[in-house]
Structure 1
Amino acid sequence: MSVDAKVAQFLQSDVFAVAGASSNPDKFGNKIFKCYQQKGYQVIPIHPLEKEIEGVACVASVSDLPAEVVSISVVTPPAVTEKLVVRAAEKGIKNIWMQPGAESPAAVAFCRQQGINVIADGTCVLVRFGCRH
């Protein structure tokens, strides 16, 4: 499947989540979260400690996401991504977009084995959506 087709499938979710969302405007987790907001998407931040990011209540983990979230952007270190994809598969997440620097061969292989649509080729939400960063 082409990257365009993978992105199109990813965007079929009604609600999105950003794992590694941050309240720090200098971090990519914040920039990517705000990019979804700027484009009019409903998005939920995932952060284990933060209560709210950019005015939206956080959930502590993938397991806490509502059922309508089937697409997650991941902005975490590769070791965290590897654990996160296992929880995402258990939750029924269908699409995972690993932002540049978040991917690992093990996480990508796991997603493929689970039949999860994975974008992990260096394609960035900020560039793809035309958000300034």
Structure 2
Amino acid sequence: MSTPPDMQSAARHFFASSTFAVAGASSVPSKFGYICFRWFQDHNLATVPLNPTTSSITVAQKTYSTVPTNSKLKDPKSTGLNIITPPFVTAQLLREAKAAGVRAVWLQPGSFGDEELEFAIREFPGAAVGGFAKGTRGGEGWCVLVDGETYMSGRDKKL
């Protein structure tokens, strides 16, 4: 990568999506897939859980039907994909997201290695969030739980 990506702009682009999918969404309250899915719900954002291993998840006593793959999203071109999976799963999710036409991706800390991040930045130009580039407030790098509210609300002008 010759020029570092502008993650602040990519985060704003991600939150301009009309729908969000959480890959790795879970019914287990201690898992980040649960915590991230609930974060989107708590912020009143239209969110669908993406999980190929179960037909539904339950979060905060409400059950949500899952979609198994990016190709099953209702409108991928309007969807921001938040990824909370192991790197080897993330690699496949990114390829599927690209093929399905997903609008933007946010790679949560721990969900990627160098190859996955480089692929996301290359294949989703200006629309891939992840890593430690300027703008994150968290010690683990760009995380929707730490950085999301700032960029979803446009309050990043104060940074």
Same fold (TM over 0.5): yes
Say yes or no: does 1:28 pair with 2:10. no
Match of 2:100 among 91, 95, 98: 91
CA contact (8 A) 1:18 1:72 kept: yes
CA contact (8 A) 2:51 2:69 kept: yes
1:113 is displaced (CA, Å) by: 2.6
Say yes or no: does 1:59 pair with 2:67. yes
CA contact (8 A) 1:82 1:104 kept: no
Higher mean C-alpha displacement, 54-63 vs 40-49: 54-63
Structure 1 residues 49, 120: closer, same or farther in 2, change over 3 A? same
1:70 is displaced (CA, Å) by: 2.4
Which has the higher Rg, Structure 1 or Structure 2? 2
Structure 1 residues 60, 115: closer, same or farther in 2, change over 3 A? closer
After TM superposition, list the pairs within 5 Å mapping 1:36-75 onto structure 2.
Answer: 36-53=40-57, 54=59, 55-68=63-76, 69-75=78-84
Pairs aligned (count): 130
Identity across matched positions, percent: 31
What TM-score results when the alignment is normalised by the length of structure 2?
0.76
1:2 is displaced (CA, Å) by: 3.0
* Structure 2 runs not aligned, ≥5 long: 132-140, 150-159
Ranges of 4+ aligned residues in structure 1 off by more than 4 Å:
none
CA contact (8 A) 1:81 1:104 kept: no
* Structure 1 runs not aligned, ≥5 long: none
What RMSD in Å do the two structures reach over aligned CA positions? Answer: 1.5
Residue type of the alignment partner of 2:79: V
1:128 is displaced (CA, Å) by: 1.9
